[in-house]
Amino acid sequence: MQNLWNGGQRWKQTVVSTSSATLTAAANHVVLVSYAAGVCTITLPDATTCAGVEFEFKKTGSGGSVSVVSVSSQTFDGAASPLASIATQYHTARIMSDGASWIILKSSGAP
């Protein structure tokens, strides 16, 4: 894990190179997904335990796709999990917990 600075705010970076990963609110903010052999499933922490926490996902691998899923039937902008797949290299998605579910702040390349 590497610390990054963004406008005076420290972000933590994690690289995922396997087919799945489970995030914690305390450990991850920028998630670079290099796994390229198929679908990489990223499981978010419970949104009710991390209000205001943001995650930014970037697909760095040349193949495969990234699927971001929630727990406990928590939604993304009111839609059921998973967040739309990130299938194109270098495309991103940024989300934030509102204390009950997940809000999509930006999405690049999601179908």
Mean pLDDT per block of 10 residues along the chain (111 residues) reads 49 86 84 93 94 93 93 92 86 94 84 41
- C-beta of residue 4 within 8 angstroms of C-beta of residue 11: yes
Pairing of strands 9-16, 30-33: parallel
Cβ neighbours of residue 90 closer than 8 Å, sequence gap 6 or more: 58, 59, 60
Which pLDDT score, from 0 to 100, does residue 82 have? 83
Cβ neighbours of residue 8 closer than 8 Å, sequence gap 6 or more: none
Q: Count Cβ neighbours within 10 Å for each residue of 10-26 and write b for 16 or more, e otherwise.
A: ebeebebeeeebebebe
Which pLDDT score, from 0 to 100, does residue 83 have? 82
Which pLDDT score, from 0 to 100, does residue 14 have? 85
CA–CA distances in Å: residue 12 to residues 2, 65, 73, 82, 88:
6, 22, 26, 23, 23
Q: Would you tell me how many other CB atoms lie within 10 Å of the CB of residue 102?
A: 24
Which pLDDT score, from 0 to 100, does residue 110 have? 45
